[in-house]
């Protein structure tokens, strides 16, 4: 049996949409839950970054990381 891989590149923001966080995960539901409940310590909790505004699915982690870097540079999702 072949295991299906799913990796996500995602963007979160706070309620005023001024600060953005770009991340990669293999479980988008769990990761958003962690952000919203402060179980992941960092500037994300400090700035109340809890609103998921974008995500996309990738088959390979390398693709997700590449897209994360492109999004952070302002060149992402140019397809």
pLDDT digits (tens, 9 = 90+) for 5-53: 899 999 999 888 888 899 999 999 999 988 888 765 555 667 778 899 9
Is the model's pLDDT at 59 over the cut of 70? yes
Question: Residue 71: which residues within 8 A CB-CB, separation 6 or more?
Answer: 9, 11, 22, 77
pLDDT digits (tens, 9 = 90+) for 60-77: 999 999 999 999 998 766
Are 49 and 42 in contact, with CB atoms under 8 Å apart? no
Q: Return the ∠ at Cα 38 (arms to 36 and 44), rounded to 5°.
A: 80
Give strand pairing partners of 11. 22, 54
pLDDT of residue 40: 57
């Amino acid at each position: 049996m072949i295991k299906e891989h799913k990796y996500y590149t995602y963007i979160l923001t706070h309620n005023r949409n001024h600060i953005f966080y770009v991340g990669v995960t293999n479980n988008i539901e769990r990761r958003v839950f962690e952000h919203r409940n402060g179980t992941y310590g960092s500037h994300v909790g400090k700035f109340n970054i809890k609103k998921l505004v974008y995500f996309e699915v990738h088959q390979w982690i390398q693709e997700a990381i590449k897209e994360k870097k492109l999004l952070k540079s302002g060149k992402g999702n140019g397809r």
